[in-house]
Chain A
Amino acid sequence: MICGRVWKFGNDIDTDVIIPGRYLDNYSPKHLAKHVMEGVDIDFHSKVSEGDFIVAEKHFGIGSSREQAVIALKAAGIRVLLAESFARIFYRNAVNHGLLPLVCPNCSEVFETGEKICIDLEKGIIFSSEKPEKKLDFQQLPTPIARIVEAGGLINILKSEIQEPSKK
């Protein structure tokens, strides 16, 4: 079970909004976190805290392939992303960094900013911790993708694959 506080966003949150191109010359996660979501909420970095969730409407992460979008969200403390849909490359980047992206229709209609919600990965449900009757199903990750997230990201999987042959 993973629980966290909700920050809600709308449709079409693109990667230029998540982390604008002008900040991409500095790869430090801390630097990137300072500007996360600046395009829609300039103070977001000072409000978000460790373990928080994002709940968004459709098309979260459209646009550029910049992995810094995921690095910035993760460094700012975001642990779980719930959205009605995710853009393809952003989704890959989130999975590869072990940041859980869950597709959850209607999530933005049901949950509110500031609300604490919990995710039961085994049962495939999300519910409000204060009002457990407020609950939703989400789409379970396909097995090969769940394996990457569970390992904490693609790097951990590659580590074992790359280092094993050299031991032989």
Chain B
Amino acid sequence: MSEMTVCEKILSRTSGQESVRPGEIIEARPDLAMSHDNTYLVYRSFKEVGASRLKDPSSIVVVLDHRAPASTVNSANTQRFIREIVNRLGIENFFDIGTGICHQLLIERGLVKPGMLILGTDSHSTTYGSIGAMGTGIGATDMASVWSKGSLWLKVPATIRVEITGATPKGVFAKDLALILVGKLGVMGADYCCIEFYGEYISNTSISERMTLCNMAAEAGAKSAIVPSGSGSKDNLSIQSCSIPDKNATYLTSLRIDSQTAEPIVAVPPSVDNVVSVRSVEGTKIDQAFLGSCTNGRLDDLAIAASMLNGKKVRSSTRLIITPASSEIYLAAAKEGILEILVRSGAVVTNPGCGPCLGAHQGILADGETCISSSNRNFRGRMGSRDAEIYLASPATVVASAIEGKIADPRRYLE
């Protein structure tokens, strides 16, 4: 039997084949299948197919997070409809508005386990790789295939090996490393590929930071991004064994990121691979700063913000919008006094969810405005006006910029 990478092992297990090769098209049965507010489209295709019941209801997860709470009559009607079909089809894993962002919830609630195959109707489903699962984004009609027959066609990706060397200097976080990676690869440099992360930095970093890295791999076009695991869940050993590659697995290419010498980074609009050092754009005036999203809305991100904002104020010319990624994070931040510091500094703290990341609500940008955001996309029109500009950065850089009203180096605010 040939030696396989993590993705190859997971796809060989879920397609019932002894082995698979990159480029091969297979039919795979996912262990979990998640859709969010676009569940309406999934259901439309599901009905069109002529199906009436789910093949495997226990594997289906539905989360309302993109417009939470509903921002228009249309979205309110859609959400009401989704709640009805969730009931009718017997979907037990349903998370209504305010619980949090889909990717955060699936991991936080322990639904994701190493070695699983998880399909999601969201491009950032790569986030599940942070704990050794293969997560990949699909479309709504793809999901109708999973709902109705329990499986979907997938191409087996080749794998790129990425090594991140060691501990980062002050002011450099997983988000900076992720932007460096996207800058190196380009927006489609990992198209149809899986990334496996290795190195001293990865071994010593938190799940939250691994989530940021795996999440942002989608911005280089990656089909999936995985931190090979092996630890974690004790049950279902056959699934878990898929989360470690074979010793002599074949990699398309390998890449090294020298994290010890990295510095704070921003992605300049309108492209995520357009990365430069914060230093080189310091002083650019900003109207809005956003801290949140599936990339960076976790407790460690909010804690950094609070440590920087303690006793300080958000610049009066700037709005700082903070969206915790889940209700658990929101509660923990309240308990630890983080929320109080943030609110006292002048930040607007919203309910958990996707926040303004996708330009649907909770902080849409006006014509000609500039935003610095901890989210994952800076495309034209992404957060509102097509004439607004979005810079992407780490939570620390976002907060430093909110304090100064212009893009600012976070290092002078960190101890």
Which A positions have Cβ atoms within 8 angstroms of B?
12, 14, 16-17, 20-22, 24-27, 38-40, 42, 58-59, 62-68, 70, 85, 87-89, 92-93, 96-97, 142, 144-145, 148, 153-155, 158-159, 161-163
Tell me, in angstroms, the Cα distance from A97 to B44 when the chains sit together: 13
Contacts of B191 in A (CB 8 A): 85, 87-88
Partner of B137, one of A24, A65, A163: A65
Tell me, in angstroms, the Cα distance from A157 to B136 when the chains sit together: 22
Tell me, in angstroms, the Cα distance from A25 to B191 when the chains sit together: 29
B377 interfacial by beta-carbon distance below 8 Å: yes
Let me know if B139 and A67 touch, CB within 8 A. Answer: yes
Taking the nearest CB of chain A, how far is it from the CB of B35, in angstroms?
Answer: 10
Let me know if A26 and B153 touch, CB within 8 A. Answer: no
Let me know if B45 and A155 touch, CB within 8 A. Answer: yes
Contacts of A62 in B (CB 8 A): 187-188, 221
Tell me, in angstroms, the Cα distance from A140 to B336 when the chains sit together: 58
B49 interfacial by beta-carbon distance below 8 Å: yes
Let me know if B138 and A16 touch, CB within 8 A. Answer: no
Let me know if B25 and A161 touch, CB within 8 A. Answer: no
Using known A-B contacts A142-B25, A154-B142, determine if residue A12 contacts B271 with beta carbons closer than 8 Å: yes
Using known A-B contacts A25-B75, A38-B386, A88-B223, determine if residue A20 contacts B359 with beta carbons closer than 8 Å: yes
Using known A-B contacts A39-B386, A145-B25, determine if residue A87 contacts B51 with beta carbons closer than 8 Å: no
Contacts of A58 in B (CB 8 A): 188
Let me know if B381 and A20 touch, CB within 8 A. Answer: yes
Using known A-B contacts A22-B360, A58-B188, A142-B25, determine if residue A158 contacts B145 with beta carbons closer than 8 Å: yes
Tell me, in angstroms, the Cα distance from A163 to B148 when the chains sit together: 10
Let me know if B379 and A89 touch, CB within 8 A. Answer: no
Let me know if A96 and B381 touch, CB within 8 A. Answer: no
Of all chain A residues, the one with the shortest Cβ separation from B377 is: A63
Of all chain A residues, the one with the shortest Cβ separation from B356 is: A21
As a 0/1 sequence over residues 125 to 162 of chain B, the CB contacts with chain A under 8 angstroms (1 = contact) are: 00000000000011111101100110001000000000
Tell me, in angstroms, the Cα distance from A154 to B49 when the chains sit together: 9
Let me know if A27 and B40 touch, CB within 8 A. Answer: yes
B384 interfacial by beta-carbon distance below 8 Å: yes
Partner of A89, one of B137, B144, B360, B377: B137
Partner of B149, one of A12, A21, A158: A158
As a 0/1 sequence over residues 67 to 79 of chain B, the CB contacts with chain A under 8 angstroms (1 = contact) are: 1000110110010
Let me know if A144 and B25 touch, CB within 8 A. Answer: yes
Partner of A96, one of B25, B139, B377: B139
As a 0/1 sequence over residues 318 to 361 of chain B, the CB contacts with chain A under 8 angstroms (1 = contact) are: 00000000000000000000000000000000000000001110
What are 25 A-B residue pairs whose CB atoms fall within 8 Å in the complex?
A: A16-B382, A17-B380, A20-B386, A24-B38, A25-B78, A26-B74, A27-B41, A27-B78, A39-B386, A42-B386, A65-B121, A65-B137, A65-B139, A87-B188, A88-B191, A89-B137, A89-B138, A89-B139, A92-B142, A148-B153, A155-B141, A158-B49, A158-B145, A159-B50, A162-B51
B92 interfacial by beta-carbon distance below 8 Å: no
Let me know if B74 and A25 touch, CB within 8 A. Answer: yes
Using known A-B contacts A16-B377, A17-B381, determine if residue A154 contacts B137 with beta carbons closer than 8 Å: no
Contacts of A12 in B (CB 8 A): 187, 271
Contacts of A17 in B (CB 8 A): 379-381
Interface residue total, chain B, C-beta cutoff 8 A? 50
Let me know if B141 and A153 touch, CB within 8 A. Answer: yes
Let me know if B382 and A27 touch, CB within 8 A. Answer: no
B95 interfacial by beta-carbon distance below 8 Å: no
B48 interfacial by beta-carbon distance below 8 Å: yes
Contacts of B72 in A (CB 8 A): 25
B288 interfacial by beta-carbon distance below 8 Å: no
Using known A-B contacts A38-B386, A67-B38, A67-B139, determine if residue A155 contacts B188 with beta carbons closer than 8 Å: no
B12 interfacial by beta-carbon distance below 8 Å: no
B198 interfacial by beta-carbon distance below 8 Å: no
Closest 5 CB pairs of A and B: A21-B358, A93-B139, A16-B379, A25-B75, A25-B74
B123 interfacial by beta-carbon distance below 8 Å: yes
Tell me, in angstroms, the Cα distance from A40 to B380 when the chains sit together: 9
B122 interfacial by beta-carbon distance below 8 Å: yes
B192 interfacial by beta-carbon distance below 8 Å: yes
Using known A-B contacts A87-B221, A159-B49, determine if residue A96 contacts B187 with beta carbons closer than 8 Å: no
Using known A-B contacts A16-B381, A22-B359, A67-B38, determine if residue A158 contacts B142 with beta carbons closer than 8 Å: no
Tell me, in angstroms, the Cα distance from A154 to B140 when the chains sit together: 11
Contacts of B67 in A (CB 8 A): 25
Contacts of B44 in A (CB 8 A): 27
Partner of B148, one of A88, A93, A158: A158
